[in-house]
Chains A and B, each alone.
Chain A
Amino acid sequence: MEHIVIIGNGISGVTAARHIRKLSDKKITLISAETDHFFSRTALMYVYMGHMKFEHTKPYEDWFWKKNRIELKNGYVETVETESKTLHFTDGDTLTYDKLIIATGSKSNKFGWPGQDLNGVQGLYSKQDLDALEVFAPNKNICKRAVIVGGGLIGIELTEMLNSRDIPVTFLVRESSFWNGVLPEGDSAMINRQIKNHHIDLRLSTNLKEIVSDGNGKANAVIIEETGEKIPCDFVGLTAGVSPNIDFLKGTSIETAKGVLVNRYLETNIKDVYAIGDCAEQREAIGNRRPVEAVWYTGRMMGEVIAQTICGHKMKYNPGHWFNSAKFFDIEYQTYGWVFTKPKEGHLHFHWKHVDDTKCITIEYNASTNEFLGINTFGIRMRHEVFDRWLTEKQTIDYVILHLGKANFDPELYHHFEGDIQRAFKNQLQNLQL
């Protein structure tokens, strides 16, 4: 029986395992050094905030794996010998495979800041990070102030987490406005205000210079690059992005760049070795997508595809229209298609914001053909299926605005804003024509 070995029990590895089991009878081994059972990384914040216990983050009950004959191995892979198809573990153990799937995810970026390895300085990625957080920032008495470095999705989550335990947070953001490498100005500005409304000390256009030690190996302050200001703190969160977790592949014959290089079939340069999820890097980018795409959905979709290939229906990774979602404190965000920070050449933005400052949308469209290209929606839920269809049908923005009600996914009895949005759109059109 063919032995499929998967390194990494995150969403990509687990999806692959589940689908291979559905499609075949192969022997499957799932390896991880992080936790025995798959849990949802995206839910780590809710454990710290007391919304859930860790066990609630596990999408499958513990008996699931045995029942589906997916063998679990807890161990850290130190290196891969592709000639003999053997994995070597740190504890000296070995395991041979017929086909190998690398799904090792990401690790938090550290940019060589002085003091970045002190106690009380960490990223937020793994279960171990969560445990460390409970040690260094369990409450506002032990952690009198926290500093978060890096204004991305994980940074704002960590800020919200600490804030939920009344720990004062200083949030250092390199950009001039929160996440404005991705969000257009109007959207980003609204989130800035949302952050400040939650009593966060938000510092825009601010870089970290160094982290100061208390002399006992623990952080007790940070120094700001621009002003030299010293901010005393007991915890420093480094959330300046993630990068593929592939150090253990150094010195093997598997070709890597930022991540493990794969073609559209998710194959590496070595036969019978594949890579999926956060750690995979496309040799050529697909559409507007980045070569490394560290999002949950990508890992899941790659897991579905690789299972097909391994079970004999060789299949290209062919993702559909881009979508994503996040939540910024109380404001939910969803996006479908592509909306860029500034409209791309020949494109325009339509922006609408509700007076209560918690809802807005931005639509990107083609200025000459009016083709709808993408939407960011904040505080209003929208239907994935509908936007996916409209993007495929290449509908115009006029059509989308007129039928926006069809895409609404807010709970029943909510107030609707389509009328408001339509009026705003008409006004903008008139202004453009003048």
Chain B
Amino acid sequence: MSNKLNYSMSLAKPDAKDFSLKQKVAIGIGIIGLFILVLALFNADINHSGWVLTTALGLIVLGTIWFSNSVYLSESKGIKNDGVWFKSISSRGLIGWATGIVLTLFYIVLYFYPHLLGLGKDGAPNTGLVALFDPLSQLLSGRPASQWFVYGALYTMAILVFGYKFFLKYRHNRYEQIRTGSVMFFQLAFAFLIPEFMYVMNSDLPYYDLKSIWPLNYYLFDSWSIKGFLSAGTIGLILLIFGVVSIFIITPILTYKYGKRWYCSWVCGCGGLAETAGDPFRHLSSKKLSSWKLERWLIHAVLVFSVVMTMATIYSFLGNNPDSYWLTKSLFIKLSIGFLSLIFLLFMLFKRKEFGKDAKNASIGYAVVISLVLIMHFTGTTDQIFFIKSSSLRSAYGLYIGSIFSGVIGTGFYPIFGSRVWCRFGCPMAAILGLQQRLLSKFRITTNGGQCISCGNCSTYCEMGIDVRAYAQKGENIVRSSCVGCGICSAVCPRGVLKLENDGLKGRINPTEILLGNDVNLMDLVNQNN
């Protein structure tokens, strides 16, 4: 009903289920916790001894858990999407917009004005919100907190508590539960705790989240990072090698076996937040064909940018003299071009068919990278590439892609564009995994014969904006580079039409209309005519 549209802009919900008293109290408790954080942020004169922080976080956790229990445990197990498009928060209503604006402001402050959060400048003691987190940081690694520590702690907490909520919401679905357990674990252990402990072990090591892989982790090959690893002795070298191995060996193997989901919806922190805190917003992604076109253009442009930027960064700190270090600028260029060409040729030789119409775009992408690299080599100097300072290229990437795109737009705009804006339009890691998933993976979403009733639940709830129904109603498997394998389309389908599976490569992409129901001869004919 079109008049539903207006409901979402009003604070009162005329027809959707309202919150019960218990739920309101739970929300209230969570808000008190948040309010303490806000008080700290504005430097209210509060005690920074640790118990205030404990209380604040405790109240938030308690509120969310109580709220989730009350919403889900009292109801039968099953799909819980009643009223999603009526609630202001989840249908771009007033509360949705307000949340989006607050989140966006938070990200802007975090990235660009950390002193507003209370980060002490030049070794001065922290104040405000950052100081509030000092005790926790001291406890874990014996150093004062930074804005990143605060962010990491809040981020981890969000994944844990909303993960719990998600767990209850999908308690009929073991795939969703185990997957959520996995993202909660990886966030807590790999992104939050282990880096702190590694610091305790060896304070020379740069912050390293083991599961954050280049090119998502675009600073892995920065000179400070490389120097940090190398100066940290054997352990540093091992970690650096692990970083290279993860992108070139571990990633392709796992993606071949399970699709990109092993990373995007089981391990990755960005994905983790999207799947837990972002879950109430997944249906807000755009399903338009035009968005898909924009997506493919943008994400591959970011990929090209990140590859060239990384090569430029490495290039700029290499020397020319083979006697001082074996890897010289020109050898590096040769190796890189050789490697990229090899991959490109292999794909073109063996995967030409799967590429389909995209072969042309892939060739353009390849040509662009190679020419940029060559231009760089022949016009660049030690500190100038593309006629600009090499470090400015790297900072431009960090600023526009690393901060604004992934943080401010990617997360701040959850309640407006849905939870996977960054993953869909910007993440270079997703682009690489996506290419593999489409061309060289056993993963697909199988369609169950002719059972689809074109209802559209799958498309609506696909956070990546994939028009799943367009495939399902034709009886076609879904093999899309952007699918993160969250499994929600399969969960919400009321007719049991979709199943995420890993199976042989043969018959994985089946673009003919093999709709079951009509007798087979007809289908032969339909396929012949195609």
Contact residues in B for A385 (Cβ distance below 8 Å): 448-449, 516
Task: Annotate B469-498 by CB proximity to A: 1 below 8 A, 0 otherwise.
Answer: 110010000000000000100111011100
Contact A198 B529 (CB under 8 A): no
Assess whether A319 is interfacial by the CB under 8 Å rule: yes
Assess whether B78 is interfacial by the CB under 8 Å rule: yes
- The residue in chain A whose Cβ has the minimal distance to the Cβ of B514 is A385
A138 and B3 alpha carbons, distance in the complex (Å): 12
Contact residues in B for A19 (Cβ distance below 8 Å): 526
CB distance from A390 to the nearest CB of B (A): 13
Contact residues in A for B1 (Cβ distance below 8 Å): 47-48, 54, 130-131, 134
Contact B516 A320 (CB under 8 A): yes
Contact A332 B519 (CB under 8 A): no
Interface of chain A residues 265 through 315 with chain B (CB within 8 A): 296-297, 300-301, 304-305, 308, 313, 315
Task: Annotate A394-434 by CB proximity to B: 1 below 8 A, 0 otherwise.
Answer: 00000000000000011111110000000000000000000
Task: Annotate A317-337 by CB proximity to B: 1 below 8 A, 0 otherwise.
Answer: 011100101110110101000
Most chain-A Cβ atoms within 10 A of its Cβ — which of B84, B496, B501, B522?
Answer: B496
Assess whether A125 is interfacial by the CB under 8 Å rule: no
Contact A388 B496 (CB under 8 A): no
A412 and B491 alpha carbons, distance in the complex (Å): 11
Name B449's contact: one of A48, A50, A308, A383 (CB within 8 Å). Answer: A383
Contact A332 B455 (CB under 8 A): no
Contact A318 B448 (CB under 8 A): no
Interface of chain A residues 54 through 83 with chain B (CB within 8 A): 54, 56-59, 61
Assess whether A7 is interfacial by the CB under 8 Å rule: no
Task: Annotate A3-26 by CB proximity to B: 1 below 8 A, 0 otherwise.
Answer: 000000001000000010011000
Assess whether B172 is interfacial by the CB under 8 Å rule: yes
Assess whether A88 is interfacial by the CB under 8 Å rule: no
Which applies to chain B's interface (DSSP): helix, strand, loop or mixed? loop
Name which of A38-46, A170-178, A246-254, A342-350 contacts chain B. A38-46
Instruction: Evaluate whether A57 and B85 lie within 8 angstroms (CB atoms) in the complex, with A300-B517, A383-B449 already known.
Output: no
Assess whether B16 is interfacial by the CB under 8 Å rule: yes
A165 and B79 alpha carbons, distance in the complex (Å): 15
- The residue in chain A whose Cβ has the minimal distance to the Cβ of B461 is A51
Assess whether A384 is interfacial by the CB under 8 Å rule: yes
Assess whether B114 is interfacial by the CB under 8 Å rule: no
Contact A409 B499 (CB under 8 A): yes
Contact A23 B529 (CB under 8 A): yes
Name A52's contact: one of B451, B453, B456, B529 (CB within 8 Å). Answer: B456
Name A414's contact: one of B175, B460, B519 (CB within 8 Å). Answer: B175
A130 and B469 alpha carbons, distance in the complex (Å): 22
Contact B455 A381 (CB under 8 A): no
A385 and B477 alpha carbons, distance in the complex (Å): 13
Task: Annotate B506-530 by CB proximity to A: 1 below 8 A, 0 otherwise.
Answer: 0000000001111111100110011
Contact B494 A332 (CB under 8 A): yes
CB distance from A234 to the nearest CB of B (A): 14
A58 and B467 alpha carbons, distance in the complex (Å): 11
Instruction: Evaluate whether A330 and B460 lie within 8 angstroms (CB atoms) in the complex, with A40-B454, A43-B455, A131-B1 already known.
Output: no
Contact B76 A297 (CB under 8 A): no
- The residue in chain A whose Cβ has the minimal distance to the Cβ of B18 is A166
Contact A164 B518 (CB under 8 A): no
Contact B499 A301 (CB under 8 A): no
Contact residues in B for A258 (Cβ distance below 8 Å): none
Contact B519 A384 (CB under 8 A): no
Instruction: Evaluate whether A411 and B517 lie within 8 angstroms (CB atoms) in the complex, with A49-B82, A384-B448 already known.
Output: no
Contact residues in B for A370 (Cβ distance below 8 Å): none
Assess whether B17 is interfacial by the CB under 8 Å rule: yes
Contact A49 B496 (CB under 8 A): no
Contact A334 B522 (CB under 8 A): no
Contact residues in A for B14 (Cβ distance below 8 Å): 138-139
Most chain-B Cβ atoms within 10 A of its Cβ — which of A51, A59, A412?
Answer: A51
A139 and B18 alpha carbons, distance in the complex (Å): 11
A382 and B84 alpha carbons, distance in the complex (Å): 29
Contact residues in A for B3 (Cβ distance below 8 Å): 134
Assess whether B86 is interfacial by the CB under 8 Å rule: yes
Contact A327 B17 (CB under 8 A): no
A318 and B524 alpha carbons, distance in the complex (Å): 14
A59 and B16 alpha carbons, distance in the complex (Å): 26
CB distance from A317 to the nearest CB of B (A): 8
- The residue in chain A whose Cβ has the minimal distance to the Cβ of B5 is A53
CB distance from A144 to the nearest CB of B (A): 14
Assess whether A197 is interfacial by the CB under 8 Å rule: yes
Contact A308 B448 (CB under 8 A): no
A410 and B491 alpha carbons, distance in the complex (Å): 10
Contact residues in B for A308 (Cβ distance below 8 Å): 522, 525-526
Assess whether B457 is interfacial by the CB under 8 Å rule: yes
A49 and B455 alpha carbons, distance in the complex (Å): 13
Contact B85 A53 (CB under 8 A): yes
Contact B84 A334 (CB under 8 A): no
Most chain-B Cβ atoms within 10 A of its Cβ — which of A296, A384, A410?
Answer: A384
Name B495's contact: one of A332, A388, A413, A415 (CB within 8 Å). Answer: A332
Contact A166 B17 (CB under 8 A): yes
Contact residues in B for A412 (Cβ distance below 8 Å): 175, 499-501
Contact A49 B456 (CB under 8 A): no
Contact residues in B for A296 (Cβ distance below 8 Å): 453-454
Contact residues in B for A166 (Cβ distance below 8 Å): 17
Contact residues in A for B293 (Cβ distance below 8 Å): none
Assess whether B77 is interfacial by the CB under 8 Å rule: yes
Task: Annotate A175-203 by CB proximity to B: 1 below 8 A, 0 otherwise.
Answer: 00000000000000000000001100000
Contact residues in A for B519 (Cβ distance below 8 Å): 318-320
Assess whether B178 is interfacial by the CB under 8 Å rule: yes
Assess whether B342 is interfacial by the CB under 8 Å rule: no
Contact A59 B174 (CB under 8 A): no
A53 and B93 alpha carbons, distance in the complex (Å): 14
Assess whether B173 is interfacial by the CB under 8 Å rule: yes
Assess whether B15 is interfacial by the CB under 8 Å rule: yes
CB distance from B528 to the nearest CB of A (A): 10
Contact residues in A for B446 (Cβ distance below 8 Å): 409
Instruction: Evaluate whether A165 and B522 lie within 8 angstroms (CB atoms) in the complex, with A383-B449, A409-B499, A413-B175 already known.
Output: no
- The residue in chain A whose Cβ has the minimal distance to the Cβ of B530 is A22
CB distance from A359 to the nearest CB of B (A): 11
Task: Annotate B58-85 by CB proximity to A: 1 below 8 A, 0 otherwise.
Answer: 0000000000000000001111011111
Assess whether B2 is interfacial by the CB under 8 Å rule: yes
Task: Annotate B434-454 by CB proximity to A: 1 below 8 A, 0 otherwise.
Answer: 000000000000101111011
Contact A165 B15 (CB under 8 A): yes
CB distance from A44 to the nearest CB of B (A): 9
Contact B175 A325 (CB under 8 A): no
Contact A56 B82 (CB under 8 A): no
Instruction: Evaluate whether A138 and B15 lie within 8 angstroms (CB atoms) in the complex, with A52-B85, A318-B519 already known.
Output: yes
Contact residues in B for A51 (Cβ distance below 8 Å): 79, 81-82, 84-85, 457, 460, 492
Instruction: Evaluate whether A304 and B522 lie within 8 angstroms (CB atoms) in the complex, with A134-B1, A297-B517 already known.
Output: yes
Contact residues in A for B178 (Cβ distance below 8 Å): 413
Contact residues in A for B453 (Cβ distance below 8 Å): 40, 42-43, 296, 325
7 A-B pairs closest in CB distance? A384-B449, A330-B78, A381-B496, A43-B455, A139-B15, A50-B83, A42-B453
A and B contact pairs by CB, cutoff 8 A, 20 listed: A11-B454, A22-B529, A40-B455, A50-B81, A50-B84, A50-B87, A51-B79, A51-B81, A52-B85, A53-B5, A56-B456, A57-B456, A164-B83, A197-B76, A296-B453, A304-B515, A320-B517, A409-B446, A411-B173, A411-B490
* 17 additional A-B residue pairs with CB within 8 Å, beyond A43-B456, A134-B3, A301-B450: A43-B455, A50-B86, A50-B87, A51-B82, A51-B84, A53-B4, A56-B456, A304-B518, A305-B518, A315-B525, A318-B519, A320-B520, A325-B451, A384-B516, A388-B516, A411-B499, A415-B174
